[in-house]
Amino acid sequence: MTRILGISGSLRRASFNAGLLRAAAELAPEGAEVDVQGIHGVPLYDADLEAEGTPQPVLDLRAALEAADALLLVTPEYNNGIPGPFKNAIDWMASGPGADLFNGKWVALMGASPMATGAIMAQNHWLPVLRTLGTRPWFEGRLMVGRAKDKFDDKGQLTDEDTRRRVSDFMAGFAAALD
Binding test (CB under 6 A) with ligand FNR, winner from 43, 46, 49, 80: 80
- When asked if residue 165 is in the footprint of ligand FNR (CB under 6 A), the reply is no
- Would you say 15 or 163 has its CB closer to ligand FNR? 15
Tell me the number of residues near ligand FNR by CB under 6 A. Answer: 15
- When asked if residue 115 is in the footprint of ligand FNR (CB under 6 A), the reply is yes
C-alpha 68/C-alpha 83 separation (Å) is 24
Report DSSP state, residue 137: E
Contacts for 132 with CB less than 8 Å, ≥ 6 apart: none
Binding test (CB under 6 A) with ligand FNR, winner from 37, 113, 135, 163: 113
- When asked if residue 163 is in the footprint of ligand FNR (CB under 6 A), the reply is no
Contacts for 84 with CB less than 8 Å, ≥ 6 apart: 78
Within residues 2-41, the interface with ligand FNR by CB under 6 A covers: 10, 12, 15-17
Contacts for 119 with CB less than 8 Å, ≥ 6 apart: 17, 75, 76, 77, 111, 112, 113, 144, 145
- When asked if residue 85 is in the footprint of ligand FNR (CB under 6 A), the reply is no
